[in-house]
Amino acid sequence: MGAKTGLLVYADGEVPDLLRQVGAADSARSTAMVRRLYPGWEIEDSKGSSLSEGVYPPDGTAYAASWPGIEVICDRRVMIDFPSQLPEHLVAASAGRRLVLHAMHSVVDWLAFAVWEDGHLVRSLSLSPDSGIIENIGEPLPFERPYWSGDRPADVIPWPDEEEEPYALPFHPLELGEDALRALCGFIQEGLPEPDDVDAYGIGLHGFHVRDPKGPDPAEKEAELRSVVEAMGPPRFYSMGPNGSLVERDHP
């Protein structure tokens, strides 16, 4: 599993139904939405993407589209451990509408999603094997129930030199994450598509460089990242062994 998402959707009804009806998003309308949701920030046009490929944009980039009845924002900054703490102005923008947050990161098996109705939080879940259940607010939604009831146990292959121990959660967050993405937004990132899934590749998003003038300088962040990468050891490569375990191999 390698899916990553940082997604907000504002909708006047069921998100999947509305996404199935959209056409090309108006550039001026989409830009106005971004300026409304990032007040006082520096915003510049950049290359766009599709909904399928743009749900995890590069750092400092947001992909967005606005149509009558539904608006989409993809930005890593909405990938927060506690969805209930989404900035107030982003929640306030959902008055009279539904707001969906979906965020997951495959490297740490982390998932978070939340749903607001008319500005009121009705469900929020955030969890990972390392941190456990970070936030759990509201009643589980229908697509969650097989996971909580034990019908979808995690099936995880341990890394070499690691003892095979029970997974730290009763189910795999990324598996639930795909079901959450399909139920709440109508499409998936990984797995087999279903006939009535939204064609997320066919939905275009406009691109924007978005920077908080009060935030850290991008050049400083890039230099810090380079220093971290330089301090890392050489990469290690694995393949699947005959018994299903991971076996380290030489560089290809």
Annotated domain spans of the chain: 4-217
Q: What is the pTM of this model?
A: 0.84
- Let me know: does 26 contact 205? Beta carbons within 8 Å: no
pLDDT at 169: 92
One-letter amino acid at 232 equals: M
- Let me know: does 107 contact 88? Beta carbons within 8 Å: no
- Let me know: does 81 contact 20? Beta carbons within 8 Å: no
Residue with tokens 């607001």: 116
What SS3 class is residue 121?
strand
- The predicted-structure confidence for 97-106, as pLDDT tens digits, reads as follows 999 999 999 9
pLDDT band at 14 (very low <50, low <70, confident <90, very high): very high
Give dist(CA 224, CA 164) in Å, integer: 36
- The predicted-structure confidence for 38-61, as pLDDT tens digits, reads as follows 999 999 999 999 999 999 999 999
